[in-house]
Amino acid sequence: MKDIRTVSREAKTNRIETLSDGVFAIVMTILVLELTVPDIQDLFAEKQLGLKLLEMWPKFTAYAFSFIVLGLLWSFHHYIFQYIKRINSRIIWINIIFLMFISLLPFSTAMIGKYAILSTTAVVFYGTNCFLNILNLNILWWYVTKNSQLLINDITSREIMQIKISFGLALGLFLISIGLSFVNLYIGLIIYFLLIVWGIIATIRSKNIRLNFKKN
């Protein structure tokens, strides 16, 4: 029989999911703070405001892109946790490191919004940030599938393998896109965009989200 300390270490997932949802909500809100209203003298506001807003298109694009990226990462995180029935200290720390890199995305977004078409470093930094987030999801899934007592009872080996392949493929493609960014930053940006489109399609077509799921 497990003692009290063991039971407390293997708590249910509610608190870690609540923390993660809160961090995602805050980070998604912080993204918009980079979009500052142009400072124009009142006399020229009517003539210049439209032009100034057009000049901000890289920042608007980076904001929209990162908001969708965060939405996808949140959905992937939820996707994994629907299969986890309890957590332990290792899962907690894997998740904390994941949230650390999630919280870095506003900085990465500000950098790519300002320098994306000028600096390979900005493009590589942003891609690396996304790569590390996906890497942490891979580590989390690898760990819980190696410790079957942490998983729900009715998960199938096929579901486990499908998720491993999908997350592993995303990880590999982001690594390739980072490498290609050193060759041509525009190629890197295009591949980032295509990866996000692929992620959206994959989540929409997924049949494995258990909306009425009860962990046991």
Residue 209 has what pLDDT? Answer: 53
In a domain, 77, yes or no: yes
The number of distinct structural domains making up the chain is: 1
In a domain, 213, yes or no: no
Residue 128 has what pLDDT? Answer: 94
Give every residue of the chain whose pLDDT is below 70, as ranges.
1-11, 38, 40-47, 206-216
Can you give the residue range of the structural domain that contains 61?
4-205
Residue 205 has what pLDDT? Answer: 75
In a domain, 84, yes or no: yes
Residue 11 has what pLDDT? Answer: 59
Residue 1 has what pLDDT? Answer: 43
In a domain, 82, yes or no: yes
Residue 44 has what pLDDT? Answer: 60
Burial of 92 per CB tally in 10 Å (0-12, 13-18, 19+): middle
In a domain, 215, yes or no: no
Residue 154 has what pLDDT? Answer: 77
Residue 148 has what pLDDT? Answer: 79
Distance CA 129, CA 125 (A): 6
Distance CA 49, CA 53 (A): 6
